Amino acid sequence: MTEETDNYLDIVNKIRKIHTNDPNVFIPLHAPIFCGNEKKYLNECIDSTFVSSVGPFVDRIEKEMAEFTGSKYAIACVNGTAALHIALLLAGVQENELVITQSLSFVATTNAIKYCNANPVFLDVDLTTMSLSPKCLEDFLTNETIQIDGKCIHKSTNKRIGAVVPMHTFGICADLSALSTICKNHNIPLVEDAAESLGSFYGDKHSGTIGLLGTLSFNGNKTITSGGGGFILTQDAELAKRAKYLTTQAKEPHAWKFYHTEIGYNYRMPNINAALLTAQLEQLPKFLKSKRAIANEYKILFDSYSDVTFVLEPENQTSNYWLCSILMNSQENRDAFLEISNKHNTMCRPAWELLHTLPPFSNEILGSTLENSYYIQSRLVNLPSSPNPRYW
Amino acid sequence: MTEETDNYLDIVNKIRKIHTNDPNVFIPLHAPIFCGNEKKYLNECIDSTFVSSVGPFVDRIEKEMAEFTGSKYAIACVNGTAALHIALLLAGVQENELVITQSLSFVATTNAIKYCNANPVFLDVDLTTMSLSPKCLEDFLTNETIQIDGKCIHKSTNKRIGAVVPMHTFGICADLSALSTICKNHNIPLVEDAAESLGSFYGDKHSGTIGLLGTLSFNGNKTITSGGGGFILTQDAELAKRAKYLTTQAKEPHAWKFYHTEIGYNYRMPNINAALLTAQLEQLPKFLKSKRAIANEYKILFDSYSDVTFVLEPENQTSNYWLCSILMNSQENRDAFLEISNKHNTMCRPAWELLHTLPPFSNEILGSTLENSYYIQSRLVNLPSSPNPRYW
């Protein structure tokens, strides 16, 4: 392995030069940048005394997020997991139903399904998108389900399929056109987990705006952050109204009376977090520009290595390149690369453990082989991908 | 009613004078005050770039909250509802079990029980504490439950009683000594919903530190706020460790691997909210001092009205007087008072609708008469109670 190891050290040094001239500084996987109105808006927020569940920054960020994504409605939430939980409830997912998703995802996707007391069905991903495979979905629905009274029923368990949830892995969208058609044909709501794909477009549509509902995340590791935060996107006025209602403890509007018609959630985004996000959103275009430039540098770099493949955005998509990724030619080499890069202050990371292999999800239904998921899981490396002022 | 109405207007004007010399300014029920290091710490937080799930302010506020409350362990959460949800799970509450609580409470108390897929049993409150009645608890447990293999089983449903959850109403603690003894005798964990009682002491012990677990809230309407925030208090090292684990998506510690052994929650307090709370906690002593002074002014004021009773802290307690309260002599007069006070820019509010009367909880078990709960619900008025610089 000595030759390969030398080779990898060479790659790591070239990766470092894309981000910094400092040979020793630690390069994180993805760090937020605050070079706009963050302090100004936070100070304004304190001066206003509105820091909590209501406030002008919540209204403003909801309006501006709708504008940026082109979504008719955008509802601020406390985080992306909470947003997905509510989106699933709004899509109609009920106790003991099944929700189809991918095994190659962050654990929040399936946790949200479990919060609805529903169960995930894991399908494979495509190699091009690393996201839910339309072919696997079509095969599963055709072979394993039937339509009864307009509902899609899983034959062997007699459970309804409540939703299909693709996750747009590392900012690359699933094949939304195909998934959307299949979901319509089988009467299943499509809910997009767009936690990683703010700024990613499928054709000319922003991720999260093609399904019945979509959800975004603004955790600290995302392209822009509110500390903790999420959003629900929808084009349906009634769902938007219910999203606000359920995330604000299902309290009926009244000057002083506390009346709640159903079980709600404390899932609001506080005004102080909205203030931070408002400042961050203003800078998103230049962050995205720099992330594309970094992706391009990576592409040029890895074009000269035959044993490493840089993952490019598919045709008809504009990726946010949230986390740039490469595929190594074996798990052994992936591990060797991770060892060397992290040792040399250059944070790299493999994909998540496949969800169906984790103890809490080890008894769920596997609706297809998971060949591509295993392939990607064993070979992928996420590269440092923070926005960088040198590229804007 | 003209005479009474004149009388009430007189009271409202006297209430106003306790808070302000301005005859027209709107007086909120409870507004936060930011006159310390709030901006400084928020700006430090931005400079550090640690705004999200980890950061020095999270560590610091956990240490300082433990010190202030005298709790061995204090774990920061995204809000009080999330804190209570996790506390119930940690206490061992499982699906289809029963959790005893009071009907006179904010909806979050029972929502948290429902998130565990458990059901509330509603008991009455005492008139002196407005919180869970030990007598009702003892009667219910003696008459309606039996011990089987060290578990307390509700005879008619065969369900285990998973926890007892008193809520310290408006900052006045339940009779924790009696409740604690009863819970021990019947092998049931005591979980204190101390959302409203930061700074309230039962004897020399801070609310939330007597039960197996206790939870705090730092929503914008509380004595101090983090925008949104909560805390779990416990004296048990293992529970504290699990609280941190479950609130951080149950992720096993590893430099890059994502491994989760159970279903976790995205319930962390972001560092930016912790920064705000750190500054607020520094000011808590003077806030509490001014709130006691205001309560004393109210006491003096209402001593001269025989038809209105100011709710005092019981013996052996120090209340934070989060929301000062009066009891009117009828529901009709309560409504008349609310009408007049709110019309005159002086925000007052009744207690919450009793939880067992709300649609999502209308089929739950009532474990006692709810005579005192109805009495308080129909007569209580919360008075403006914000901390006020004129009293510190």
pLDDT band at A6 (very low <50, low <70, confident <90, very high): confident
DSSP labels for B322-338?
SS-EEEESSHHHHHHHH
Query: Which pLDDT does position B254 carry in this prediction?
Result: 83
Nearest residue on chain B to A277, judged by CA atoms?
Answer: B51
pLDDT at B3: 73
A-facing residues of B in 345-374 (CB < 8 A) are 348-350, 352-353, 358-360
Mutation site for B-interface testing, chosen from A30, A46, A51, A224 by largest number of B Cβ within 10 Å: A51
pLDDT digits (tens, 9 = 90+) for A331-390: 999 999 999 999 999 999 999 999 999 999 999 999 999 999 999 999 999 999 999 999
Arithmetic mean of pLDDT over chain A: 96
In CATH terms, the fold of domain B3-35+284-354+379-391 is: Aspartate Aminotransferase, domain 1 (3.90.1150)
Nearest Cβ partner of A260 from B79, B107, B342? Answer: B107
| Residue to test with chain B: of A37, A42, A219, A223, most B Cβ within 10 A | A42
Q: What residues does A74 pair with on adjacent strands?
A: A233
Distance, in Å, from the CA atom of A391 to the CA atom of A321, rounded to the nearest integer, reads: 14
Which chain B residue is nearest to residue A82, measuring alpha carbons? B266
How far is B166 from B123, CA to CA, in rounded Å?
Answer: 10
| Mean pLDDT, all residues of chain B | 96
Residue of A nearest to B338 (CA): A256
Q: Is B111 on the interface with A (CB under 8 A)?
A: yes
CB-CB under 8 Å, B350 with A228:
no
Distance CA A275, CA B254 (A): 32
- Facing B107 at nearest CB: one of A49, A249, A359: A249
| 3 state DSSP class of B285 | helix
Instruction: Note whether B254 contacts A: Cβ–Cβ < 8 A.
Output: no
CATH among 3.40.50.2300, 3.40.50.1370, 3.40.50.300, 3.40.640.10 for B38-281: 3.40.640.10
Answer whether A78 sits within 8 Å of B80, measured CB to CB: no
Q: What is the mean pLDDT of residues A16-33?
A: 96
Here the ipTM equals 0.96
Mean pLDDT, residues A13-20 taken together: 98
> Do the domains spanning A3-35+284-354+379-391 and A38-281 agree at the CATH topology level?
no
Residues 290-329 of A with CB under 8 A from B: none
As a whole number, mean pLDDT of residues A315-327 equals: 97
Is residue B1 pLDDT above 60, yes or no? no
- Interchain CB distance below 8 Å, B257 and A350: yes
| Contact criterion met (CB < 8 Å) for A80 and B117 | no
**Which pLDDT band holds residue B121 (cuts at 50, 70, 90)?**
very high
Residue A2 — very low, low, confident or very high, per pLDDT cuts 50/70/90?
low
* pLDDT tens-digit readout, B208-246: 999 999 999 999 999 999 999 999 999 999 999 999 999
pLDDT at A1 over 60: no
What crossing angle do the helices spanning B331-343 and B2-19 adopt, rounded to 10°? 50
Q: What are the pLDDT digits (tens) for A221-246?
A: 999 999 999 999 999 999 999 999 99
Residue A285 has pLDDT above 90, yes or no: yes
A196, A222 Cβ separation under 8 angstroms: yes
Q: Which of B78, B107, B358 sits opposite A228 (nearest CB)?
A: B78
CA distance A244 to A87: 11
Residue A133 contacts residue A123 (beta carbons within 8 Å): yes
Domain ranges of chain A: 3-35+284-354+379-391, 38-281
Closest alpha carbon to A129 in A179, A170, A190, A180: A170
Segment among A3-17, A159-173, A196-210, B76-90 with least mean pLDDT: A3-17
